[in-house]
Amino acid sequence: MFYVKTLLVGFSAALCAWLLNRLLLHLGVHGVPALLGPVIEETLKTGLALAAGASLAGVHSTFGLIEGLWELPAGSPLGAPAAPLRGYPVAWIGPALAAWGGHSFFGLLVLLTYTRTGHPGTAWAMGLLAHLAWNRAVLALHR
């Protein structure tokens, strides 16, 4: 049952983050990808996992998997043509794997920090700092 809870919490966090991020973008709020998105996502992943008693790393990884699946139909970055790899465009696989791997890494950092300190706020901050650095690097690569 623990795994089902982890999957449900991860999916719920991903859905809520997607809705909030879309709403903020629709309202014209600036800084969503660079700052507000990571704050929202890390708050939902860590907060919901702790509130539900689900695996911190598992919720983050599930969230990343869901985000990665959303990346698949997004097309190739910057409109570049995608080269097929076993039937899947390479340009679609990279962002999907990056989303899954990135969020899994953030979850590992959050879990290690929480295990080491016992402070949820410190664990959340560690995940947030890693997420902010990641997004800054990704955005810099696409400028």
Q: Report which of 91, 92, 99, 79 is spatially closest to residue 37, judged by C-alpha positions.
A: 99
Tally of domains within the chain: 1
pLDDT of residue 89: 55
pLDDT score, position 87: 55
Q: What's the sign of the alpha-carbon dihedral 53, 57, 62, 63?
A: positive
Structural domain boundaries enclosing 123? 2-75+86-141
The H-assigned helical ranges of 53-119 are: 56-71, 90-117
User: What is d(CA 107, CA 109) in angstroms, rounded to the nearest whole number?
Assistant: 5
81 within domain boundaries: no
Specify the pLDDT at position 73.
62
Residue 63 lies in a domain: yes
Mean pLDDT, the chain cut into blocks of 10 residues (143 residues total): 92 97 91 88 98 97 94 55 54 82 97 98 98 90 76
State pTM to two decimals: 0.86
107 lies in some domain: yes
Q: How far apart are CA 125 and CA 69, in angstroms?
A: 26
